[in-house]
Amino acid sequence: MNESKAMILGAAGTRLTADEIAFYRDERPWGFILFARNVAEPAQLCDLVASMRDSVGRADAPVFIDQEGGRVQRLRPPMAPDYPNAAELGAIYARDREAGLRAAWLMSRLHAMDLARYGITADCLPVLDAPVAGAHDVIGNRAYAKDPEVVIELGRAASDGLMAGGVLPVMKHMPGHGRAFADSHKALPEVSATLDELRAHDFVPFKALRDLPMAMTAHIVYRAIDPDRPATTSPTVIGKIIRGEIGFDGLLMSDDVSMHALSGDFASRAEAILAAGCDLVLHCHGIMPEMQAVAEKAPELSGKSLERARRALSLLAPRDDMEETVARAEFARCFEAVA
């Protein structure tokens, strides 16, 4: 059987069209990603996830979602409860370290319960960005704290909670989005910090959690490393910093190739992302001509990229036996205790 291609793709709506099914079957994306536009009700979402996997003939094809809590949460009531943002977990940690760590673990464990019932197997969490004063609020309260050491502890707890529930974590946005003074969905942020400043702050959480199976890049120019290209398309940032200095040897995906921080057409964007050293191109919007352009440039997964993809999926373990009602009650008490 042919291997999957080095891409993760979205879909346009709540059900796959005949064109989407044929396209996925022929082009074989390694995985899929869901957004709010794909979600209507429980049976529909289960059917959509199953049909995505059916289209590529792989029961283990990973299905991703951004389910952080706060403003970045694709599943909403009644599909899943509204959850607090990461900064609220950080506030608990600031008052009581153990309570904060438990709250972060429990929230991720509950995310895993919510996602697993629909067949979703990967969550783009934890956010390991550590903001600096004055940075754009595109990260803002999505970050656990400004202190990288706190981010490490809460990020590890969140990752462990997902894994305990049989869901894979994806840390983001490597090597650090906390200094961005623009929203990379709309423009290309540039960071002027020195390499020593980045090493002392931004890189620290990613280095500490470099054993996690998957990570997502930042669409940010780090002038001290590569003044011409954002991390996502920079062989220098990926090779010397992410793979070298940070020491991450897991599966590296781009942030969304559709974001306005990147320039050029979709074929050239995809080509630049893969040439820089990313293992996978992420395309989120489900727009067919754009996906076709990405697929044209995405090769079959092979070599180290294939090894990393297989290793990530091998870490999907059976979930623990935690009772949902017990977990939800304990999570609520975490917030009562510090109210």
Catalytic residue among 129, 202, 226, 255: 255
Catalytic residue among 26, 60, 185, 211: 185
Contact 280, 312 (CB under 8 A): no
Please name the residues in contact with 27: beta carbons below 8 A apart, sequence gap of 6 or more: 5, 7, 291, 295, 298
Active site annotation includes 177? no
Contact 101, 154 (CB under 8 A): yes
Using the 8-state DSSP alphabet, how is residue 146 labeled? S
Please name the residues in contact with 216: beta carbons below 8 A apart, sequence gap of 6 or more: 124, 170, 171, 172, 173, 174, 252, 253, 254, 255, 282
Phi–psi pair at 132, nearest 5 degrees: -110, 165
Contact 177, 220 (CB under 8 A): yes
Active site annotation includes 96? no
Q: Which of 71, 86, 117 is nearest to 324 (CA)?
A: 117
Catalytic residues: 185, 255
